[in-house]
Amino acid sequence: MREYHPRVRLALDRIDLDRPIALLAAMAFITQVGVAVMLPLLPLYAQSLGASPAMLGLMVSGFAVALAVGQLASGFLTERWAARRLVVAGLSTYALANAAIAAATAAVQVVAFRALAGLGSGVNQVAERLYVTQVADRTRLAFANSLLSAAGSAGSVMGPTIGGLLAAFADLRAPFIVVALTSLAATIAGWFLPAPRARPVQGPAAPAGDPSPSAAPAPMPLPASTTSRLVVLFVVHLAFQTTFGAFITTFAPFGSERLGWSTAEIGLVFSMFGLGSVLLGPPLARVADRRGRRRFGMIGAALVFPFGLAFVMEAPRLLLYPVTVIAGAGVTTFEASWFALLGDATEGGRRGRAFGTVVALSSLGVALGATVAAQLWERTGDAGLGMLAASVTVAIAGLALLAHPADRPEPRPEAG
């Protein structure tokens, strides 16, 4: 076998490991184009079919609960089936559900099919993040996760503009047809994800190729110190997901009713989120790998905090757009750092079930946030209170990271 200089070997290894990340990122991009076409208009579409504010909250909550079920199931199933195959299963379910939403004739049908979409999305979300832990260099784990988030955010830059145009020149059903087609395209691409190579891990040796996990040595139970870290990471992500639930329930109606914005302008804000994620998220995540993922998770939450306040205060657009770009960078930085911390915490143990359980239970924060925001809105008639709730919960997420031990990033591999 030919021997390479250590620097050449390191470069070749990174190229080989980055190929699956590149394909997964491309899938995230095309899927998110469709999601971003649909998501800002989802509350308006449901309202056009007769949904009340309470039903909008139920729609978001139902998606979140089904998402958690899918995430939990995915974590356990990865101990029997390859994560890359569960990615395909989740995406195909999501595509089918959105095609059904496009054909809905009543708000209750939208709620039901949105729950089915949540189930598929949950399976895909955990499977793809577990796949990242299988193929990415652990010293670049936050950066690899940020590439996945940034690719999805790049789709967010394009999606809302397309959705606004479709809604203007077609009808509110068209965006759901688009998301079904983009998810189908990503499903097809998922069949080409390569099997992860054998990688050294802490604990039992990783099996070569992509065998059934049942053929691998039984994973070791997680130690008590790891369990406490997982509890902290659960609380942190629960608060962060609560932020998303409050935001997605109230932002579009708030922009439409209080600010008088068009659907295209509401979509533009989502594009600004994506722009911040793409331009600033990966560089910040790269620094997080070197300087501390806990620290940069807190920084990410701090970057998101001013967003809800700026909109409720009806700040001028010259301020709102930069605040939105910075918030987008904060979301990616937080998520990349958090997933990297979770990957480190579950290394060598029952990673699939621990990973899936933490992600699933914390996803219930979306339902909590949606419910709180919907109740505040319905009782006061002010959707802005939901936006304020989002700022409060993201601050809680950042502060809760103080309870996590400060991470000491491993030294990057040396060549020679």
DSSP 244-312: HHHHHHHHHHHHHHTS---HHHHHHHHHHHHHHHHHHHHHHHHHHHHH-HHHHHHHHHHHHTHHHHHHH
Q: Which pair of structure tokens corresponds to residue 153?
A: 């955010």
* Structural domains for the chain: 13-196+221-403 (1.20.1250.20)
pLDDT at 164: 63
Of 394, 303, 286, nearest to 337 by C-alpha is 286
pLDDT at 349: 55
Of 34, 240, 284, nearest to 145 by C-alpha is 284
Rounded Cα distance between 20 and 30, Å, is 16
pLDDT at 199: 52
Q: Which pair of structure tokens corresponds to residue 191?
A: 């069949």
Rounded Cα distance between 263 and 240, Å, is 26
pLDDT at 80: 85
The region, left, alpha or beta by phi > 0 then psi within -120 to 50, assigned to residue 330 is alpha
Burial class (CB in 10 A: 0-12, 13-18, 19+), 170: exposed
Residue 100: how many other CB atoms lie within 10 Å: 18
Task: Provide CB contacts within 8 A for 108, sequence distance 6+.
Answer: 55
Rounded Cα distance between 162 and 155, Å, is 11
Rounded Cα distance between 383 and 398, Å, is 24
CA–CA distances in Å: residue 179 to residues 42, 43, 182, 189? 12, 16, 5, 15
pLDDT at 399: 95
Instruction: Determine the residue type at 392.
Output: V
pLDDT at 218: 47
- How would you write the pLDDT of the chain (416 residues) with one tens digit per residue? 344 445 544 444 444 447 788 888 889 888 888 887 777 677 777 878 887 777 887 887 788 788 889 988 988 888 888 888 999 999 999 999 988 988 888 888 888 899 999 999 999 989 998 898 888 877 888 888 888 888 887 877 776 667 666 666 667 777 788 888 888 999 999 899 888 875 544 443 344 344 444 434 444 455 556 788 899 999 999 999 999 888 888 888 888 778 888 777 777 777 788 788 888 999 999 999 999 999 999 999 999 999 988 888 888 888 888 999 999 999 999 999 999 998 888 876 567 888 888 988 888 888 788 888 888 888 888 778 888 888 999 999 999 999 998 876 655 554 44
